[in-house]
Structure 1
Amino acid sequence: MSRAEVVDVTEVSDVRESGDVREVRRIWTFGLFRSELGITFRRWRTLALLGVLAAVPILVGVAVKIETSDGSTVGGGGEAGGPAFIAQITNNGLFLVFTALAATLPFFLPMAVGVVAGDSIAGESSAGTLRYLLVAPAGRTRLLLAKYATTMTFCLVATLVVAVSALAVGALLFPFGEVTTISGTRIGFGEGLLRALLIALVVAASLIGVAALGLFVSTLTSSGIAAMATTVGLLITIQILDQIPQLHAIQPYFFSHYWLSFADLMREPVYWDELVKNLGLQGLYAALFGSAAWARFGAKDITA
Structure 2
Amino acid sequence: MSRADVLQAGAGRRPNPLWTLGLLRSELVTTVRRWRTLALLGVLAAVPVLVGIAVKIETRGGGPAGGGGEGPAFISQITNNGLFLVFTALAATLPFFLPMAVGVVAGDAIAGEAGAGTLRYLLVAPAGRTRLLFTKYATVLAFCLLATLVVAVSALLVGALLFPLGELTTISGTRISFAEGLGRALLIALVVAASLVGVAALGLFVSTLTNSGIAAMATTVGLLITVQIVDQIPQLHALQPYLFPHYWLSFADLMRDPVYWDDLVKNLGLQALYAAVFGAAAWARFTAKDINA
Inter-CA distance 131–3: structure 2 relative to 1 (3 Å threshold): farther
Q: Is the 8 A contact 1:182 1:266 kept in 2?
A: yes
Inter-CA distance 162–217: structure 2 relative to 1 (3 Å threshold): same
Aligned with 2:189 (options 200, 210, 219): 200
Structure-2 residue corresponding to 1:30: 21
Residue 72 of structure 1 deviates from its aligned partner by 2.9
1:237 partner letter: T
| Separation in structure 2 between the aligned mates of residue 256 and residue 75 of structure 1, nearest angstrom | 24
Aligned with 2:115 (options 126, 134, 144): 126
| Separation in structure 1 between the aligned mates of residue 80 and residue 2 of structure 2, nearest angstrom | 51
Aligned with 1:51 (options 39, 42, 53): 42
Inter-CA distance 38–75: structure 2 relative to 1 (3 Å threshold): closer
Q: Is the 8 A contact 1:74 1:81 kept in 2?
A: no
SS of alignment partner, residue 68 of structure 1: helix
Structure-1 residue corresponding to 2:202: 213
Matched, 1:229 2:245: no
| Separation in structure 1 between the aligned mates of residue 29 and residue 66 of structure 2, nearest angstrom | 43
| Separation in structure 2 between the aligned mates of residue 293 and residue 5 of structure 1, nearest angstrom | 25
Alignment of 1:1-304 (within 5 A): 4=3, 7=6, 9-10=8-9, 24-76=15-67, 79-303=68-292
SS of alignment partner, residue 289 of structure 2: coil
| Separation in structure 2 between the aligned mates of residue 249 and residue 277 of structure 1, nearest angstrom | 15
Name stretches of at least 5 consecutive residues in structure 2 with no aligned partner: none
| Separation in structure 1 between the aligned mates of residue 98 and residue 182 of structure 2, nearest angstrom | 21
| Separation in structure 2 between the aligned mates of residue 279 and residue 26 of structure 1, nearest angstrom | 29
Q: Deviations over 1:139-159 (max 9, x none)?
A: 001100010000000000000
Q: Is the 8 A contact 2:10 2:125 kept in 1?
A: no
| Separation in structure 2 between the aligned mates of residue 25 and residue 299 of structure 1, nearest angstrom | 23
Name stretches of at least 5 consecutive residues in structure 1 with no aligned partner: none
Q: Is the 8 A contact 1:206 1:278 kept in 2?
A: yes
| Separation in structure 2 between the aligned mates of residue 113 and residue 172 of structure 1, nearest angstrom | 29
Q: Is the 8 A contact 1:97 1:196 kept in 2?
A: yes
| Separation in structure 2 between the aligned mates of residue 296 and residue 139 of structure 1, nearest angstrom | 14
**What percentage of aligned pairs have identical amino acids?**
79
* RMSD over aligned Cα atoms: 1.6
| Separation in structure 1 between the aligned mates of residue 20 and residue 250 of structure 2, nearest angstrom | 35
Larger radius of gyration: 1
TM superposition score normalised by structure 2: 0.97
Q: Is the 8 A contact 2:244 2:271 kept in 1?
A: yes
Q: Is the 8 A contact 2:55 2:66 kept in 1?
A: no
SS of alignment partner, residue 65 of structure 2: coil
Residue 97 of structure 1 deviates from its aligned partner by 0.2
Moved over 4 A (4+): 10-13
Inter-CA distance 239–10: structure 2 relative to 1 (3 Å threshold): closer
Q: Is the 8 A contact 2:10 2:19 kept in 1?
A: no
Q: Is the 8 A contact 2:7 2:125 kept in 1?
A: no
Q: Is the 8 A contact 1:93 1:175 kept in 2?
A: yes
Which stretch of the first structure deviates more once superposed, 36-45 or 127-136?
127-136
TM superposition score normalised by structure 1: 0.93
